[in-house]
Amino acid sequence: MAEDKSAETIIRTTDLVKKYGEGKAEFKALKSVSIAIRQGEFVAVMGPSGSGKSTLMNLIGCLDTPTSGRYSLAGRAAETMTQDELADIRSDEIGFVFQQFNLLPRTSALENVMMPLSYAHRKRDNPREWCEGLLRSVGLAERIGSLPNEMSGGEQQRVAIARALVNDPGILLADEPTGALDSKSGDEIMGIFSRLNKDGRTIVMITHEQYIAEYAGRIIHLKDGRVESDEPNGDRHSRGRQ
């Protein structure tokens, strides 16, 4: 990710609509969302619950397909892809970080990080060393063989970040990554995100908390399935590592 492609638009949605249910039970989670995110941006998505943040995130993450509208990811039209093509995109282009970490229980940190490799097309020569390196890069050199229930929340989330990076994706999607953490661990996680962003990775993150959003370079507010505001964050790093 060292090469400079900062001008290129990597995520572009056009009039994106997502409906759930049928007839009377129909519910429009996204009414019309058009956003463009360039390679290397760090975007925070905010909004009250029910505003459509998670729906947008699922569409961007290729976990779901839109009811109408267009979505292009790295120049490819994602709205027409089959389930298998979407799975391949998730494997190659996107890393997910979840609020609840979602580590496999009774499975070591290293095995958790290695898990997505078994579904990837590209095979690494030394998968074990590569994954150990990822764990070291998130500060878990001592925790390589630990089980999830032996680790703190912050440590578990760092394992999850290492797992998200295992296929070297260009995009990192985080759904309230600090929502289950205390503020100190939250700051550590955001420190890692800032560093990854500096290395050139595009990051899209949902958050409730203003001080977490401040780490991002751009903040999008959603309300009732529409973009309410979309502004650069002038204040960036004002609350960075203190």
Q: Could you list the residues that contact other proteins (CB under 8 A)?
A: 58, 61, 63-64, 83-84, 87-88, 90-92, 96, 98, 102, 104-107, 115-116, 118-120, 163, 167
Nearer to other proteins by Cβ, of 163 and 218: the residue is 163
Q: Which segments of 82-220 does DSSP mark as H helices, in order?
A: 83-93, 109-114, 127-137, 153-164, 183-198, 210-213
Nearer to other proteins by Cβ, of 88 and 230: the residue is 88
Residue 59 CB, nearest distance to other proteins (Å)?
10
Residue 122 CB, nearest distance to other proteins (Å)?
11
Alpha-carbon separation of residue 191 from 46, 96, 239 (angstroms): 19, 17, 11
Residue 7 CB, nearest distance to other proteins (Å)?
28
Residue 114 CB, nearest distance to other proteins (Å)?
10
Nearer to other proteins by Cβ, of 120 and 144: the residue is 120
DSSP string, 55-107: HHHHHHTTSS--SEEEEEETTEE-TT--HHHHHHHHHHHEEEE-TT--PPTTS
Contact (CB, 8 A) for 42 and 193: yes
Nearer to other proteins by Cβ, of 105 and 234: the residue is 105
